[in-house]
Structure 1
Amino acid sequence: MNTDNYFIWRRETEQHFQAINSTEQLKSLIQTLVVSLGFDSYAFLIQHPVPFTRPRIFLHSTYPKAWITRYEQKNYYAVDPVLVLCQQPGRGVEWSSDLFSAAGDLWKEAQEHGLNSGFSCSAMASNRAIGILSIASRQADKTQHLHTELEVKLHFLAELSLRSLQRFSDDTLMVLKNDFSQRELEILKWTAEGKTSAEISLILAISQHTVNFHQKNMQKRFNVSNKTQIACYAAAIGLI
């Protein structure tokens, strides 16, 4: 990869992202950039950090609709190795038969729908949501000898895409509105330290009733059943 050309590409790409003002423009821009890299289509999957057992997932994609429908029908989310490996932001994953060997018919069916080669890489948003950008080509072996270049460029594109969605306050990236008061954040931090309501009231010089009131309100906002979950979720999304 030519370093000088890369920095020119990076500067121009960032300017393109700064010029857009909506999610629809973002989708169009990603497709244009993917084509400029020599690929046909993309999928940008956003995985939220909570709930822990069944994280919320959103997908922006130009893959064939029939493939997206099939992927969801077969629940390939549960066996797709890309989604596991890309939990480490910045790590590039080149598609191959070996990669999907334990994923049942996923690779065979993807190829049947025209996804004959591809590459994936991810980035992490400030709220700890993971954005996994995958690009695909109808041409086999399209990614050969391009691992380093694609890893660097896709990581950057995923980062810019996440930042843009946050800038647009797009629902697909909003884990929770970050409008907690200073008092609520203080209570969250002490709750995460394992302090009881009575102990927090003494530390903050407020009534125990006030502590309980804020904790109950935060339980509703996080949609959880107890204060332990409040603290865990707050830590998971980078709130504390």
Structure 2
Amino acid sequence: MTTDNYFVWRGETEKQFQALTEVMQLKSLLQHQIEALGFDAFAFLVQHPVPFTRPRIFLFSTYPSGWVKRYESQNYYAVDPVLVRCQQPGRGVDWNAELFAEAGNLWAEANAAGLMSGFSCSAMASNRAIGILSISSPHPSQTRHKRIQLEVQLHFLAELSLRVLERLNDGSMVVLSKDFSQRELEILKWTAEGKTSAEISLILAISEHTVNFHQKNMQKRFNVSNKTQIACYAAAIGLI
């Protein structure tokens, strides 16, 4: 693909994604796009930044249903190296046996399910959710000479997909409520700086009781047990 062709493709593709009015249309459009790239199926995984140890995951896929069920039943999410590598948005990952060497039977079972070759790349949403787009083929070595092209195009497709899900208010993009008052945001920022409730009350010229009241409310909204977690979660989703 030449530079001129890429920018034509980019402009036309963006218009197609902007024209979507329902989330269910996204799956068909992504399938069309990946077939144009010479692949057969895709998985678009949305991973939330919090909770840190058990992030919520949403999957949009045209992979064989039997493989998806097997992947989930074996909890391959926990060992899949693609998910680790794609935490860095825009970095393409070419599938091969070496990549999956420490992932148990994942690579062998994926091959048996018809996923003989593939490529993945990710993008990040404004709420810090990661969207990982993976494409696969039943034929080997489909990515060997296309790495740069696939990295650029898949990153853009993942970015557009996240924008669609955000614009259409899909549940997969609801990380945590961002409906915080200016006062709450101020308290969050000073909490993240390590200030105590007493110190924050002096800085903001409000009572310590008021600081504690807001912190307790935010703990409930974040579903966390202490104010340190509030600050960590707020930072993770780009709130502060």
Any idea what SS the aligned residue of 1:50 has? coil
How far did residue 200 of structure 1 move? 1.1
Identity of aligned residues (%): 74
Any idea what SS the aligned residue of 2:97 has? coil
Following TM superposition, the consecutive aligned residue runs of length 4 or more in structure 1 with deviations greater than 6 angstroms are none
Any idea what SS the aligned residue of 1:163 has? helix
User: What is the distance in 1 between the residues matched to 2:203 and 2:101?
Assistant: 55
Whether 1:81 and 2:81 are equivalent positions in the alignment is yes
Structure 2 counterpart of 1:17: 17
User: What is the distance in 2 between the residues matched to 1:121 and 1:57?
Assistant: 16
**Aligned pairs, how many?**
240
Unaligned runs of 5+ in 1: none
How far did residue 144 of structure 1 move? 2.2
| Mapping for residues 140-219 of structure 1, pairs under 5 Å | 140-219=140-219
Structure 2 counterpart of 1:126: 126
Whether 1:34 and 2:63 are equivalent positions in the alignment is no
* Alignment-mate amino acid for residue 58 of structure 2: F
Whether 1:115 and 2:115 are equivalent positions in the alignment is yes
User: What is the distance in 1 between the residues matched to 2:28 and 2:142?
Assistant: 22
How far did residue 110 of structure 1 move? 0.7
* Alignment-mate amino acid for residue 158 of structure 1: A
- Indicate if the aligned counterparts of 2:177 and 2:221 stay in contact, CA closer than 8 A: no
Structure 2 counterpart of 1:224: 224
Unaligned runs of 5+ in 2: none
Normalised by the size of structure 2, how large is the TM-score?
Answer: 0.97
Deviation string for 1:142-174 (max 9, x for gaps)? 112000000000000011111111111111111
Any idea what SS the aligned residue of 1:7 has? helix
Structure 2 counterpart of 1:71: 71
Normalised by the size of structure 1, how large is the TM-score?
Answer: 0.97
C-alpha RMSD of the superposition: 0.9
- Structure 1 stretch displaced more, 203-212 or 6-15: 203-212
* Alignment-mate amino acid for residue 105 of structure 1: N
User: What is the distance in 1 between the residues matched to 2:202 and 2:100?
Assistant: 55
